[in-house]
Protein backbone atom coordinates (compact mmCIF):
# COMPACT_ATOMS: atom_id res chain seq x y z
CA UNK A 1 0.00 0.00 0.00
CA UNK A 2 1.40 3.40 -0.97
CA UNK A 3 2.09 6.01 1.66
CA UNK A 4 0.02 9.15 1.80
CA UNK A 5 1.72 12.55 1.70
CA UNK A 6 0.95 12.93 5.40
CA UNK A 7 2.74 9.64 6.16
CA UNK A 8 5.79 10.72 4.15
CA UNK A 9 5.82 14.03 6.02
CA UNK A 10 5.48 12.30 9.40
CA UNK A 11 8.35 9.92 8.58
CA UNK A 12 10.50 12.86 7.43
CA UNK A 13 9.84 14.74 10.68
CA UNK A 14 10.64 11.63 12.74
CA UNK A 15 13.95 11.13 10.88
CA UNK A 16 14.78 14.81 11.31
CA UNK A 17 14.00 14.69 15.05
CA UNK A 18 16.12 11.55 15.50
CA UNK A 19 19.07 13.18 13.71
CA UNK A 20 18.73 16.30 15.86
CA UNK A 21 18.64 14.15 19.00
CA UNK A 22 21.79 12.28 17.97
CA UNK A 23 23.54 15.52 17.01
CA UNK A 24 23.12 16.84 20.53
CA UNK A 25 22.97 20.40 21.73
CA UNK A 26 24.47 23.00 19.35
CA UNK A 27 26.11 24.75 22.30
CA UNK A 28 28.27 21.63 22.84
CA UNK A 29 30.40 22.71 19.91
CA UNK A 30 31.21 26.06 21.48
CA UNK A 31 34.36 26.26 23.57
CA UNK A 32 33.47 26.85 27.16
CA UNK A 33 34.47 25.66 30.58
CA UNK A 34 32.97 22.41 31.85
CA UNK A 35 29.58 22.83 33.48
CA UNK A 36 30.77 21.50 36.85
CA UNK A 37 33.38 24.31 37.03
CA UNK A 38 30.80 26.93 36.06
CA UNK A 39 28.32 25.65 38.65
CA UNK A 40 30.88 25.66 41.45
CA UNK A 41 31.22 29.45 41.04
CA UNK A 42 27.60 30.20 40.19
CA UNK A 43 25.58 32.29 42.64
CA UNK A 44 22.51 30.06 42.19
CA UNK A 45 24.28 26.95 43.50
CA UNK A 46 23.76 27.69 47.23
CA UNK A 47 20.08 28.43 46.57
CA UNK A 48 19.64 25.15 44.66
CA UNK A 49 21.29 23.20 47.47
CA UNK A 50 19.33 24.98 50.20
CA UNK A 51 15.95 24.45 48.54
CA UNK A 52 16.62 20.74 48.01
CA UNK A 53 17.84 20.32 51.60
CA UNK A 54 14.64 22.00 52.90
CA UNK A 55 12.61 19.13 51.48
CA UNK A 56 15.06 16.42 52.52
CA UNK A 57 16.67 15.85 49.13
CA UNK A 58 20.43 15.51 49.15
CA UNK A 59 21.74 18.02 46.61
CA UNK A 60 23.67 16.47 43.73
CA UNK A 61 27.40 16.99 43.57
CA UNK A 62 29.17 18.10 40.45
CA UNK A 63 32.76 17.61 41.58
CA UNK A 64 33.87 16.18 38.24
CA UNK A 65 32.82 16.79 34.66
CA UNK A 66 31.29 13.33 34.37
CA UNK A 67 27.93 11.64 33.93
CA UNK A 68 28.13 8.15 35.40
CA UNK A 69 24.43 7.45 34.77
CA UNK A 70 24.63 8.12 31.00
CA UNK A 71 23.83 5.13 28.80
CA UNK A 72 24.69 4.76 25.13
CA UNK A 73 21.35 3.08 24.39
CA UNK A 74 19.57 6.41 25.02
CA UNK A 75 20.74 7.50 21.56
CA UNK A 76 22.08 10.81 22.83
CA UNK A 77 25.71 11.89 22.85
CA UNK A 78 27.68 11.86 26.10
CA UNK A 79 27.66 15.43 27.43
CA UNK A 80 29.34 15.02 30.82
CA UNK A 81 28.09 17.10 33.76
CA UNK A 82 25.96 19.36 31.55
CA UNK A 83 24.01 16.40 30.15
CA UNK A 84 23.53 15.07 33.67
CA UNK A 85 22.25 18.46 34.88
CA UNK A 86 19.80 18.73 31.98
CA UNK A 87 18.42 15.24 32.66
CA UNK A 88 18.09 16.19 36.33
CA UNK A 89 15.92 19.20 35.43
CA UNK A 90 13.64 16.92 33.43
CA UNK A 91 13.56 14.36 36.25
CA UNK A 92 12.77 17.02 38.86
CA UNK A 93 9.94 18.35 36.68
CA UNK A 94 8.54 14.84 36.16
CA UNK A 95 8.79 14.12 39.89
CA UNK A 96 7.13 17.44 40.79
CA UNK A 97 4.32 16.78 38.32
CA UNK A 98 3.76 13.27 39.67
CA UNK A 99 3.81 14.46 43.29
CA UNK A 100 1.42 17.34 42.52
CA UNK A 101 -0.95 14.88 40.84
CA UNK A 102 -0.85 12.54 43.85
CA UNK A 103 -1.51 15.43 46.25
CA UNK A 104 -4.45 16.64 44.15
CA UNK A 105 -5.96 13.13 43.98
CA UNK A 106 -5.52 12.74 47.76
CA UNK A 107 -7.28 16.06 48.42
CA UNK A 108 -10.05 15.27 45.92
CA UNK A 109 -10.71 11.98 47.68
CA UNK A 110 -10.90 13.74 51.07
CA UNK A 111 -13.27 16.36 49.64
CA UNK A 112 -15.47 13.69 48.02
CA UNK A 113 -15.67 11.83 51.33
CA UNK A 114 -16.54 15.03 53.22
CA UNK A 115 -19.28 15.83 50.69
CA UNK A 116 -20.67 12.29 50.96
CA UNK A 117 -20.71 12.60 54.76
CA UNK A 118 -22.50 15.96 54.53
CA UNK A 119 -25.07 14.59 52.08
CA UNK A 120 -25.79 11.74 54.50
CA UNK A 121 -26.35 14.18 57.37
CA UNK A 122 -29.78 14.87 58.81
CA UNK A 123 -31.10 17.94 57.00
CA UNK A 124 -34.59 18.11 58.45
CA UNK A 125 -33.77 21.34 60.26
CA UNK A 126 -33.79 24.25 57.72
CA UNK A 127 -30.87 26.03 59.43
CA UNK A 128 -28.76 22.87 59.41
CA UNK A 129 -29.71 22.18 55.79
CA UNK A 130 -28.59 25.70 54.82
CA UNK A 131 -25.21 25.24 56.56
CA UNK A 132 -24.67 21.80 55.03
CA UNK A 133 -25.50 22.99 51.51
CA UNK A 134 -23.23 26.02 51.91
CA UNK A 135 -20.38 23.73 53.00
CA UNK A 136 -21.00 21.41 50.03
CA UNK A 137 -20.84 24.40 47.67
CA UNK A 138 -17.58 25.55 49.31
CA UNK A 139 -16.03 22.09 49.05
CA UNK A 140 -17.05 21.84 45.38
CA UNK A 141 -15.25 25.14 44.72
CA UNK A 142 -12.15 23.82 46.43
CA UNK A 143 -12.35 20.63 44.34
CA UNK A 144 -12.70 22.76 41.19
CA UNK A 145 -9.40 24.45 42.07
CA UNK A 146 -7.73 21.04 42.11
CA UNK A 147 -8.97 20.33 38.58
CA UNK A 148 -7.00 23.27 37.18
CA UNK A 149 -3.52 23.11 35.70
CA UNK A 150 -0.74 25.37 36.94
CA UNK A 151 2.02 26.79 34.76
CA UNK A 152 5.48 27.67 35.89
CA UNK A 153 7.82 29.76 33.78
CA UNK A 154 11.30 28.30 33.48
CA UNK A 155 14.32 29.42 31.51
CA UNK A 156 14.86 27.27 28.41
CA UNK A 157 17.66 24.86 29.31
CA UNK A 158 17.75 22.58 26.26
CA UNK A 159 18.53 23.71 22.76
CA UNK A 160 18.42 22.03 19.38
CA UNK A 161 19.98 22.86 16.06
CA UNK A 162 16.61 23.94 14.67
CA UNK A 163 15.25 27.06 16.46
CA UNK A 164 11.75 26.52 15.03
Model confidence at 8, pLDDT cuts 50, 70, 90, reads confident
Cα gap 108→146, rounded to integer Å: 7
Q: Provide the Cα torsion 39, 44, 46, 49; round to 10°.
A: -80
Is the model's pLDDT at 56 over the cut of 90? yes
Q: What pLDDT is stored for residue 23 in this prediction?
A: 65
Give the model confidence (pLDDT) of 10-46 as tens digits: 888 888 777 766 667 778 778 689 999 999 999 999 9
Say which residue, 88 or 7, is predicted with more confidence.
88
Model confidence at 123, pLDDT cuts 50, 70, 90, reads confident
Model confidence at 162, pLDDT cuts 50, 70, 90, reads low
Contacts (Cβ under 8 Å, ≥6 apart) of 79: 24, 25, 28, 67, 70, 86
Is the model's pLDDT at 134 over the cut of 70? yes
Q: What pLDDT is stored for residue 32 in this prediction?
A: 80
pTM of the model: 0.78
Model confidence at 69, pLDDT cuts 50, 70, 90, reads very high
Model confidence at 102, pLDDT cuts 50, 70, 90, reads very high
Q: What pLDDT is stored for residue 120 in this prediction?
A: 94
Q: What pLDDT is stored for residue 74 in this prediction?
A: 84
Quick one: average pLDDT of 62-78?
90
Specify the 3-state DSSP secondary structure of 115: helix
Specify the 3-state DSSP secondary structure of 164: coil
Q: What pLDDT is stored for residue 25 in this prediction?
A: 79
**Residue 5: half-sphere exposure toward Cβ, Cα within 13 Å:** 0
Q: What pLDDT is stored for residue 31 in this prediction?
A: 66
Amino acid sequence: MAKTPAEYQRAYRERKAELAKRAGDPTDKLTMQPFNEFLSNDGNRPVIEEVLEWVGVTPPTFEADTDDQWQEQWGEPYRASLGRAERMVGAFLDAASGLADAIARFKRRAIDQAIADLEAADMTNPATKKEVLAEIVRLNRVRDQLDKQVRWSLPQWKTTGDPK
